[in-house]
Structure 1
């Protein structure tokens, strides 16, 4: 595992469209899969009126609930890839122009009218890349050693 810097983590996050928003519901952790876009450093998801997610942003424009957003791209065969977590306050998007821009760029995956958007302003961005292990240096006859012979003994030495 190799840690990712903030800029690289946000770049990777912007390259995928599906993630999971993590929040508190009735004093318990809750997770919802959602599609997203990255706007600058903010993560934006669209929500419908009355949704639990819509209640996370404060209605007066002040920061709402603290949430986490996680997305990843990990190959199930090689186990290589990356994972990013953004943690910050949820804000309801109020500007009509921004809502229209997000509606044009972010199509819902569910068959419900999405009338609102939630912006997560990251206070903390963490991530890691899963890379292949580096091969250990080869030993044995290619290194002048006899298989099974104690290290440091030259071939043919008694």
Structure 2
């Protein structure tokens, strides 16, 4: 499919699932969106892509409780270059779960997670990606012009 066949009404390129997962794997930080006390919460987390899942660490708190409940959450990551007017954004939706301790030890050796904030006694949490969507702003020369 040609790129121009995959444009949304704003002229942004609609990304495939594979492209979304690849781009997610290219950045270390994203935003976890979940509900706490009936209100939306957005938290910045370091993460890694592990197949069709995202993995991040959390200390005891609302994120861990959301994972213990198996809550449905959203996750967003992006890169934007305002000066060159380039960028992309990817949003994933799925259920959270706590990675069992025996699996977490092995997984921690395979992926590289560095937290931007100190985490006492971190636990690994997995987001099973059930849907993923993404958009990319094309370089000026590739954009459709009227």
- Normalised by the length of structure 2, the TM-score is 0.82
Structure 2 residue aligned with 1:56: 66
| Structure 1 SS opposite 2:23 | helix
How many aligned residue pairs are there?
132
Q: 113, 116, 119: which one pairs with 2:123?
A: 116
Structure 1 unaligned runs (5+)? 138-158
| Structure 2 SS opposite 1:98 | helix
User: Higher Cα Rg: structure 1 or 2?
Assistant: 1
- CA RMSD across the alignment: 1.9
Structure 1 residue aligned with 2:87: 81
Q: Greater helix share, 1 or 2? A: 2
Q: 1:28 & 1:97 partners in 2: Cα distance? A: 32
Q: 1:136 & 1:87 partners in 2: Cα distance? A: 33
Q: How far 1:98 sits from its partner (Å)?
A: 2.8
Query: Mean alpha-carbon deviation: is it higher for 2-11 or for 107-116?
Result: 107-116
In the superposition, relative to structure 1, how do residues 84 and 136 fare at CA in structure 2: closer, same or farther (>3 Å)? Answer: closer
Structure with larger RCO (C-alpha < 8 A, sep 6+) = 2
User: Any runs of at least 4 consecutive aligned residues in structure 1 with deviations exceeding 6 A, and if so which?
Assistant: none
Q: 1:7 & 1:136 partners in 2: Cα distance? A: 28
Please tell me whether residue 69 in structure 1 is matched to residue 75 in structure 2: yes
Structure 2 unaligned runs (5+)? 1-11
Q: 93, 96, 99: which one pairs with 2:99?
A: 93
Q: 2:145 & 2:134 partners in 1: Cα distance? A: 26
Residue by residue, what CA displacement relative to the aligned partner does 1:16-36 show, whole Å, maximum 9, x if unpaired?
000000001111111001110
- Normalised by the length of structure 1, the TM-score is 0.76
